[in-house]
């Protein structure tokens, strides 16, 4: 934060300060990119697996914007290989209550 404040001041930062800022950015930006890729790819993996497709199709998300768009079209217009859920049926009726015992006959 201190480096950003120094950069925003009126006087020009020294070349060493700029170099330190660039090294810090080059260390942080790849981490942010990996996290953002994981945020998109992990849900796509599970959606593809549940839809009956190969989960490896989520690697299309690595192609910026076009890959995700292609994946959405594949999911939207392809026939999903999922067995439909059975229709909810009524449970069988309860058995009738037991009959009271009859009195003994003579």
Distance from C-alpha of 27 to C-alpha of 104, rounded to nearest angstrom: 94
pLDDT value of residue 105: 74
Instruction: Give Rg (Cα) of the chain.
Output: 32
Distance from C-alpha of 19 to C-alpha of 10, rounded to nearest angstrom: 19
Distance from C-alpha of 93 to C-alpha of 101, rounded to nearest angstrom: 24
Going residue by residue through the chain, which has 106 residues, state the pLDDT in tens, using 9 for 90 and above. 666 676 666 567 788 888 988 999 999 999 999 998 899 899 999 999 988 888 998 998 888 888 889 988 988 898 888 777 676 677 778 888 888 887 777 6
pLDDT value of residue 9: 67
pLDDT value of residue 45: 92
């Amino acid at each position: 934060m201190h480096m950003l404040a120094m950069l925003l001041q009126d006087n020009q930062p020294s070349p060493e300060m700029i170099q330190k800022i660039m090294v810090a950015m080059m260390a942080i930006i790849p981490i942010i990119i990996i996290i953002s890729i994981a945020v998109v790819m992990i849900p796509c993996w599970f959606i593809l697996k549940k839809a009956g497709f190969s989960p490896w199709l989520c690697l299309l998300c690595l192609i910026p914007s076009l890959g995700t768009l292609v994946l959405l079209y594949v999911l939207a217009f392809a026939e999903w290989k999922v067995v439909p859920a059975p229709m909810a049926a009524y449970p069988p009726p309860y058995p009738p209550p037991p009959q009271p015992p009859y009195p003994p006959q003579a």
